[in-house]
Amino acid sequence: MGNTLQTPKENLAKEEEEEEESSGSSFTCEICIEPMAASKKFKNKNLCTHPFSQDCIAKYIQVKVQDDNTAKIECPGLECRHDLDPFSCEPIVPASLFSKWCDVLCEDYVLGFERSYCPNTN
């Protein structure tokens, strides 16, 4: 009754979380190469599980949005092609930055269409 079917990504994420808990309460951030408490590890909605601190990811997003005006922000992991999930990032970035990122995402989405509907046919 309580059994649910899990995808391989969910299984991998759960295994890594269990391993992280059993191996200690710290990890090394791959951006700043500093040891961090496991509670400060960024989780990208089970898309990828690279060990990055929340602070480093927040700074990475800030640079991408404010300086580069980037909409879809890729994971900074080597050879990783997953995008960062905006809703996974919302709690770790300032509200103003998240709002600007959402604006950039919407603009990118709208400008991505080749044709658009015009309500005035005159």
CA 94 to the chain's CA centroid: 15
Q: What is the pLDDT of residue 114?
A: 73
In whole angstroms, how far apart are CA 82 and each of 43, 77, 113? 13, 9, 23
The rounded distance, in Å, linking the Cα atoms of 50 and 47 is: 10
Whole-model pTM: value is 0.72
Q: What is the pLDDT of residue 25?
A: 87
The rounded distance, in Å, linking the Cα atoms of 71 and 76 is: 15
For 67, counting Cβ atoms within 10 Å of its Cβ (0-12 exposed, 13-18 middle, 19+ buried), the class is exposed
pLDDT digits (tens, 9 = 90+) for 29-49: 999 999 999 999 999 987 888
Q: What is the pLDDT of residue 17?
A: 54
Q: Which residue stretches of the chain have pLDDT < 50?
A: 1, 22
pLDDT digits (tens, 9 = 90+) for 45-63: 878 889 999 999 999 999 9
The rounded distance, in Å, linking the Cα atoms of 33 and 22 is: 21
Q: What is the pLDDT of residue 53?
A: 96
Domains delineated in the chain: 11-111 (3.30.40.10)
Q: What is the pLDDT of residue 46?
A: 78
CA 91 to the chain's CA centroid: 11
